[in-house]
């Protein structure tokens, strides 16, 4: 920055009011590190439950197995051993039918001794020879331990599995070491499994009791092997834990029937099936009608009123002459090597929840592990408020508490930060890319609190955006908590409550643009209120105020009617939006305002106009779309992303200005046309910077730096163009004029004045005509868009939708914004605004 000196600056963190996350794997849980702690928690104290029988899956170490056997009555005689598969000379399991034997063979080490190749030996005899070389000498036969030499070969003629004895012993108090060693040997030779048979005094019991043990993590009754819980098992960012079908994204691209049948109010006869309205595929509709008549499927009934049986018939076909919608698209799949077929297929595909993991992103084994009564995906599906209640009620054993106490403490601490910044309604698995700028900023604020840094400068840009008045006090409490930890908090804010609660208020003014840039006040709020020059103080004292209209616009009889809106947390609500009025949608954070306006009303209107091919928020009916000629979403996204984009080009005011320059004597003498005075096309613009006036220097690991072009000195054009003057001013000089200056300079050109006048009327008279779009705030970009619509002559019957238009606006700017709203209404338009600002409400 261009400053003389800066003292006392500590390490700084800027928390911007925008959502720059584009990673489809990033969620609220991963951003706040809550998911990392959940992975640790489930890996350390999670219980794996068999998905078939519901019993807990455990792994029995040799010591655990030995202790269980020593708990039997003293003197109990045991035969302890392992199962050994009988294999033929080729290494295949004898008999070829034993799955258990195959599993044991696969689980053994590669250096296991296979039977010696001797054609004179039976498979069982060859197996015993190998076991003898290993040091074993007895098998269990009819419940007794029998030496190899005493076994009749005929007794094992059809055996596929031998029960090898490792040890014979009586249960006693001093046998833990011996029994543990014996179980370890059985595990090593038996592929991780062992058995212990209770025998009597030399005779076979009527019903021998067999104890089986396994060091493998498996459910023995069901034979299912499970993954041992570890942190990476619960991460969808790891190939080990991610669902193998969707690779951790939670959705797959499949045929979307909502795109195939976009208007469920139409019948088959009314061309409800969109792909078959195309001339090339109309024959499929003919086939459907012929097959439907034979199957008594109604052709004149709206799609939404068809029975499930009728829809299945239409979608899946009849298996003979009619292939169905799915058969039609399967046929196209075989031709997708053609570009036009791939484009056609993409129109009717959408992201659907993964059929394997149900959108949870995790593999099946991760969803078998429980903490309390919930799996990790169920915990992530909870809202911040619900998750807080879950961990408050979580009951752990004393041993589990020792392991998990700090983990649970970190989770609940971060949840409390999210709750305190008003984000209690977000679920932990909510995609970060779907958050608003205000929500993303508050999540970053909660993350900063969780890091517990001290001696840091936090810079926040309008953290109150999107917050209801009820939530503002919580936000200020969080900011004070940051301050009390030993940090400095610097907030750019227009919210009156936040200003009142600040320790120090710095007020800049007097006005905007050329009239700004001076410090009017720096001190306490009380001293600000005594400042006579401060425009902020005048509004807060009540000297100036935004007037409440003396009369309200009468509701027109024409309305938009939404029936049964039920997307996300909307509860099947019915809404009427009167046209030709300013309608404000307000409510606490998370109450469903954006869902209703963006996902339902805006998307449904766009689809009715044939301009929307994405999913529309769930609702039962929409009426009145024909009463609106157009619907426009006026957001705070930049009007352009390069330095060449600026207010004068966005408003189309630069076209008549270029014509004025092209008609000058000097321009005609040099054969310069209007295109030579454009920096967007080659010809008159500087070749060094392509008309941007600056050159980008990539800084590798730092932010890119823009430096003035050394060929044109930042003036954008070639010398021959810059030498042309209109009323003594070059084209570069015009671009450096403010809107207010340009109105005076071009007063004789109605086309220029008409387009620029609107900018001045809505409070943007201080902007320079050539100011790069990259330097405009979100509020300025939004008002420029409004000015663009106001400057268009024919704008009647348009519905304008604005989401928090007062973002970034001072009290004085809000008054000018409301004046612009009135102009739009007077032109016969309608306004639907989401807002928390009390003056707008």
Query: What is the three-state SS of 236-304?
Result: CCCCCCECCCCCCCCEEEEECHHHHCCCCCCCCCCCCCHHHHCHHHHHHHHHHHHHHHHCCCCCCCCHH
Q: Is the pLDDT of residue 735 over 90?
A: yes
Which pLDDT score, from 0 to 100, does residue 102 have? Answer: 44
C-beta atoms surrounding 789 within 10 Å: 19
Which band of pLDDT confidence, cut at 50, 70 and 90, is reported for residue 557? confident
Above 50 in pLDDT, residue 719? yes
Q: Which pLDDT does position 161 carry in this prediction?
A: 87
**Residue 723 and residue 666: Cα distance in Å, rounded?**
8
Predicted confidence (pLDDT) at residue 609 exceeds the cutoff of 60: yes
Residue of higher predicted confidence among 273 and 510: 273
Residue 641 C-alpha from the chain's centroid? 24
Phi/psi at 795 (5° precision): -130, 10
Q: Tell the burial category of 289 from Cβ atoms under 10 Å away from its Cβ (0-12, 13-18, 19+).
A: middle
- Say if residue 583's pLDDT is above 90: yes
Residue 792 pLDDT > 80 = no
H or E, element range at 84 = strand 77-85
CA distances from 722 to 181, 587, 678, 737 (A): 94, 54, 12, 15
φ/ψ bin of 143: left (φ > 0), alpha (ψ from -120 to 50), beta (otherwise): left
Q: What is the pLDDT of residue 143?
A: 79
CB atoms within 10 A of CB 320: 7
Predicted local confidence at residue 223, as pLDDT: 79
User: For 378-392, how does the pLDDT look when each residue is reduced to its tens digit (9 = 90+)?
Assistant: 999 999 999 999 999
CA distance 443 to 19: 10
**Going by C-beta distance under 8 Å and a sequence separation of 6 or more, which residues neighbour residue 434?**
none
Q: Is the pLDDT of residue 408 over 90?
A: yes
Tell me the backbone φ, ψ of residue 719, rounded to 5 degrees. Answer: -55, -40
Tokens of residue 307, six digits: 């029975």
- Cα angle: 599, vertex 600, 601; to 5 degrees: 115
Using an 8 Å Cβ cutoff, are 130 and 121 in contact?
Answer: no
Q: Which of 148-162, 452-466, 645-659 has the lowest mean pLDDT?
A: 148-162
For residue 832, which of 572, 620, 605, 638 has the smallest C-alpha distance? 605
> Which residues, including other chains, have CB under 8 Å from residue 603's CB and lie 6 or more apart?
612, 614, 615, 616, 617
Catalogue all structural domains in the chain, each as residue range(s) with its CATH number: 62-216 (3.30.190.20), 251-353 (1.10.8.280)
DSSP classification of residue 533: S
Q: What is the pLDDT of residue 352?
A: 84
- The pLDDT tens digits of the residues spanning 213-255 come to 888 888 877 878 899 999 999 999 999 999 999 999 998 888 8
**Cα–Cα nearest to 114, from 139, 137, 91:** 91
Res. 103: pLDDT tops 50: no
Kindly report the pTM of this predicted structure.
Answer: 0.71
**Helices 778-790 and 750-761, axial angle in degrees (round to 10):** 140
Mean predicted lDDT score pLDDT of the chain: 86
459, 15 Cβ separation under 8 angstroms: yes
- Of residues 534 and 796, more confidence is placed in 534
Q: Is 660 helix (H, G, I), strand (E, B) or coil?
A: helix
Tell me the C-alpha distance between 80 and 100, whole Å.
19
Q: Is the pLDDT of residue 118 over 70?
A: no
Give yes or no for residue 136 having a pLDDT over 60. Answer: yes
Q: How many residues does the chain have?
A: 841
Cβ–Cβ < 8 Å for 795, 761: no
Give residue 111's pLDDT.
46
Find the radius of gyration of the CA atoms of the chain.
38
Is 189 within 8 Å of 134 (Cβ atoms)?
yes
- 713 pLDDT tier (thresholds 50, 70, 90): very high
Say what the pLDDT of residue 87 is: 76
State which of 106-110, 479-483, 718-722 shows the largest mean pLDDT.
Answer: 718-722
Least confident of 45-59, 100-114, 499-513: 100-114
Q: What is the CB neighbour count within 10 angstroms for residue 253? A: 12
Least confident of 205-214, 567-576, 599-608, 631-640: 205-214
Per-residue model confidence as pLDDT tens digits over 161-206: 889 999 999 898 888 899 999 999 999 988 888 999 988 654 444 5
Write out pLDDT tens, residues 590-604: 788 888 999 999 999
What is the side-by-side strand order in the sheet with 161-170?
144-147, 138-141, 161-170, 77-85, 193-199, 210-214
Q: Residue 98: pLDDT band by 50, 70, 90 thresholds?
A: very low
Map residue 116 onto helix, strand or coil: coil
**pLDDT beyond 90 at 259:** no
Q: What is the DSSP letter of 71?
A: T
The reported pLDDT for the residue numbered 394 is 93
Share of the chain above pLDDT 90, in %: 43
Mean predicted confidence (pLDDT) in 418-430: 88
Report the SS3 class of residue 181. helix
In whole angstroms, give the CA distance from residue 650 to residue 244: 47
Summarize pLDDT for 308-366 with one digit per residue, the tens: 999 999 999 988 888 999 999 999 999 989 999 999 998 888 888 899 999 999 999 99
pLDDT computed for residue 828 by the predictor: 86
Least confident interval from 546-550, 575-579, 709-713: 546-550
């Amino acid at each position: 920055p261009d400053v003389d000196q800066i003292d006392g600056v500590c390490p700084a963190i800027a928390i911007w009011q925008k959502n720059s996350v584009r990673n489809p794997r990033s969620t609220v849980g991963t951003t706040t590190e809550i998911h990392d702690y959940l992975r640790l928690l489930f890996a350390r104290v999670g219980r794996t439950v068999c998905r078939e029988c519901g019993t807990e899956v455990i792994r029995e170490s040799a010591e655990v197995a030995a202790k269980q056997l020593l708990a039997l009555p003293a003197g109990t005689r045991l035969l302890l051993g392992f199962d050994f598969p009988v294999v033929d000379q080729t290494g295949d399991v004898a008999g070829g039918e034993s799955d258990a034997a195959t599993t044991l063979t696969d689980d053994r080490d590669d250096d296991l001794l296979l039977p010696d190749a001797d054609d004179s030996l039976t498979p069982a005899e060859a197996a015993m020879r190998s076991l003898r070389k290993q040091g074993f000498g007895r098998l269990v036969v009819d419940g007794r331990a029998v030496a190899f030499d005493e076994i009749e070969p005929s007794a094992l003629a059809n055996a596929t599995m031998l029960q090898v004895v490792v040890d014979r012993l009586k249960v006693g108090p001093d046998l833990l070491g011996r029994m543990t060693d014996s179980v370890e040997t059985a595990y090593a030779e038996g592929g991780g499994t062992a058995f212990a048979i209770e025998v009597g005094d030399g005779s076979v019991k009527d019903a021998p009791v067999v104890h089986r043990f396994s060091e493998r993590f498996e459910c023995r009754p069901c034979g299912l092997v499970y993954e041992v819980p570890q942190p990476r098992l619960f991460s969808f960012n790891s190939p080990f834990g991610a669902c193998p079908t969707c690779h951790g994204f939670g959705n797959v691209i499949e045929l979307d029937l909502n795109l195939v049948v976009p208007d469920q109010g139409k019948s088959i006869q009314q061309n409800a099936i969109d792909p078959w309205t195309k001339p090339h595929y109309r024959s499929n509709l003919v086939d459907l009608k012929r097959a439907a008549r034979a199957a008594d499927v109604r052709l004149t009934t709206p799609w939404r009123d068809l029975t499930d049986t009728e829809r299945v018939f239409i979608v899946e076909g009849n298996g003979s002459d009619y292939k169905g919608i799915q058969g039609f698209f399967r046929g196209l799949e075989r031709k997708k090597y053609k570009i036009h077929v791939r484009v056609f297929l993409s129109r009717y595909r959408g992201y659907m929840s993964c059929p394997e993991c149900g959108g949870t992103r995790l593999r099946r084994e991760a969803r078998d592990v429980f903490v309390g009564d919930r799996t990790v995906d169920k915990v992530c599906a909870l809202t911040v408020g619900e998750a807080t209640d879950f961990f408050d009620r979580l009951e752990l054993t004393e041993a589990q508490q020792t392991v998990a106490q700090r983990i649970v403490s970190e989770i609940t601490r971060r949840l409390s930060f999210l709750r305190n910044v008003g984000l209690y309604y977000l679920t932990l698995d909510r995609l970060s890319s779907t958050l608003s700028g205000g929500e993303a900023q508050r999540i970053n604020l909660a993350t900063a609190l969780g890091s517990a840094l001290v001696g840091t400068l936090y810079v926040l840009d309008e953290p109150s955006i999107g917050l209801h008045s009820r939530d503002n006090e919580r936000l200020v409490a969080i900011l004070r908590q940051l301050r009390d930890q030993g940090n400095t908090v610097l907030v750019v804010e227009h919210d009156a409550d936040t200003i009142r609660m600040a320790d120090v208020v710095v007020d800049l003014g007097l006005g905007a643009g050329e009239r700004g840039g001076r410090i009017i006040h720096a001190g306490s709020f009380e001293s600000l209120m005594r400042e006579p020059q401060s425009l902020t103080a005048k509004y807060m004292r009540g000297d100036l105020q935004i007037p409440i209209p003396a009369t309200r616009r009468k509701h027109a009889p024409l309305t938009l009617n939404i029936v049964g809106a039920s997307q996300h947390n909307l509860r099947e609500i019915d809404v009427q939006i009167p046209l030709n009025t300013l309608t404000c949608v307000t409510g606490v954070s998370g109450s469903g305002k954006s869902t209703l306006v963006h996902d339902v009303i805006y998307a449904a209107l766009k689809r009715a106009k044939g301009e929307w091919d994405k999913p529309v928020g769930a609702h039962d009916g929409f009426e009145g779309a024909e009463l609106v000629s157009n619907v426009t979403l006026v957001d705070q996204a930049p009007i352009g992303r390069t330095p060449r984009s600026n207010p004068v080009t966005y408003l189309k005011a630069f076209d008549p200005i270029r014509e004025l320059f092209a008609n000058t004597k000097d321009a005609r003498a040099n054969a310069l046309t209007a295109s030579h005075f454009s920096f967007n096309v080659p010809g008159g613009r500087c070749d060094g910077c392509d008309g941007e006036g600056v050159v980008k220097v990539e800084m590798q690991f730092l932010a890119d730096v823009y430096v003035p072009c050394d060929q044109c000195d930042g003036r954008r054009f070639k010398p021959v163009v810059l030498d042309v003057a209109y009323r003594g001013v070059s084209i570069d000089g015009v671009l450096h004029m403010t809107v207010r200056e340009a109105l005076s300079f071009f007063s004789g050109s109605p086309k220029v004045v008409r387009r620029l006048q609107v900018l001045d009327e809505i409070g943007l008279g201080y902007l320079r005509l050539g100011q790069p779009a990259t330097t405009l705030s979100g509020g300025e970009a939004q008002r420029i868009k409004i000015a663009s619509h106001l400057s268009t002559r024919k704008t009647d019957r348009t519905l304008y939708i604005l989401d928090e238009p007062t973002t970034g606006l001072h009290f004085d700017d809000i008054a000018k914004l409301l004046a612009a709203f009135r102009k739009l209404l007077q032109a016969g338009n309608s306004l639907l605004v989401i807002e928390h600002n009390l003056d707008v409400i």
